[in-house]
Amino acid sequence: MKLRHLPFDVAIVDEASQCILPYALIPCLMSKRWVLVGDHRQLEPLVLDARAADFLTSWFDMAVRDLGEGGEAVMLDVQYRCPHEVGSFLSRHFYGSKLRNDEEAENHDHRPIEVDAAAASNRINAKFSAAGLDMQMSPGQISILANPRNHLIFIDTAGRSRERGRKSKSNSGEAIVASEAMGILGQATSDMLFLSPYRAQNSLVRRMVAGDVRMGTIDSYQGRQADIVILSLVRSNANGLLGFLRNVRRLNVAMSRCMKKLVVISDSATIRMNRADLDAREVLMDYIRTSKELGTYICLASQRADVVERARRRELALRPGLRIGTTKRPAHEAGA
């Protein structure tokens, strides 16, 4: 018997938020009732043709927005995956503070790590120096990274390591930090994941890491998870361009993969200068604020460079008519 002649009582469409309407209609037209399961705050369907992208939205998005008397939208409002600090952050920014943490979940701490913080600091700083980067990571900052009770961490390159590349971007400073962080945190678990919006950054980090480490672009890891997630945002430029991170859903996907620790590596100066992508900017700025409140903010600007920068900003503040940075954006930006 052909499937089109076989009626069903119920059709369940999983990951419905990533399924465009025509595809979802195929099973549902043969069923009396439909159950769509998905998350319209995470990535939408992948439509390669830009001309069709605005029209081929997901049925799930449409249903949540336009659901009438014939149906009901139900939110599963308890998250079991992420540590509470990360879960509360995600709830605040993506789910209207309606997503609750599972209070009975087992401890999200990873195993304790024995690390010679001074030796690790010297090794990382030598790599920064060899790459011509004016950055430093202190033994105290190594200890913050390794502490199993620190679940939400921001590592700030503070404008000291610029992005490179045209179509696909890379960032050598972030790559050094990520590879060293994986070496340290790999002592606690082998279930580790490196994510970046750009394939070029993944390739650069893979060359720096010994052994087989899971890594990929953010889009390719929706629906997957790992104990520790290290997220390199790559973008560092004078115009405050965030690239693929303009899509705030991509940030939600990336930040919600972790079960024990989330480490975000980025340039706060680029984030702060952005004036066009306000949703993404607010998410990232609040992540930085949250890490400072938790005592898990790590700034890699060397002390000398930091003093010089503060002095420069004080001088500019006293000279009317001068602005720091620019918000002008190019008409087109390519990325991969």
Helices marked H in the chain — which ranges?
21-28, 50-53, 59-66, 84-94, 117-130, 139-146, 172-185, 199-208, 248-255, 268-273, 278-294, 303-317
Q: What is the pLDDT of residue 4?
A: 63
Q: How far is CA 86 from the centre of its chain?
A: 12
Q: Please compute the mean of the pLDDT values over residues 205-224 and round it to a whole number.
A: 88
Q: Is 60 exceeded by the pLDDT of residue 188?
A: yes
The residue written with tokens 């991170």 in the block is: 245
Least confident of 132-146, 278-292, 315-329: 315-329
Pick the residue with more confidence: 21 or 97?
97
The pTM score is 0.84
**Torsions phi, psi for 326 (to 5 deg):** -150, 150
> Distance of CA 126 to CAs 129, 179, 182, 330, Å?
5, 14, 17, 36
Q: What is the pLDDT of residue 129?
A: 97
Pick the residue with more confidence: 62 or 274?
274
| CA 43/CA 21 separation, integer angstroms | 15
Q: Is 90 exceeded by the pLDDT of residue 72?
A: no
Q: Please compute the mean of the pLDDT values over residues 243-248 and round it to a whole number.
A: 89
CB burial readout 120-133, b (16+ within 10 A) else e = bbeebbebbeeeeb
Q: What is the pLDDT of residue 78?
A: 95
Q: Please compute the mean of the pLDDT values over residues 196-219 and round it to a whole number.
A: 92
Domains and CATH numbers, the chain: 3-74 (no CATH), 108-317 (3.40.50.300)
Q: Please compute the mean of the pLDDT values over residues 222-251 and round it to a whole number.
A: 93
What is the overall mean pLDDT for the chain?
86
Least confident of 51-60, 119-128, 194-203: 51-60
Q: Is 50 exceeded by the pLDDT of residue 209?
A: yes
Q: Is 80 exceeded by the pLDDT of residue 135?
A: yes
Q: What is the pLDDT of residue 22?
A: 80
Pick the residue with more confidence: 240 or 6?
240
Dihedral of alpha carbons 171, 177, 182, 183, sign: positive
Q: Is 80 exceeded by the pLDDT of residue 314?
A: no
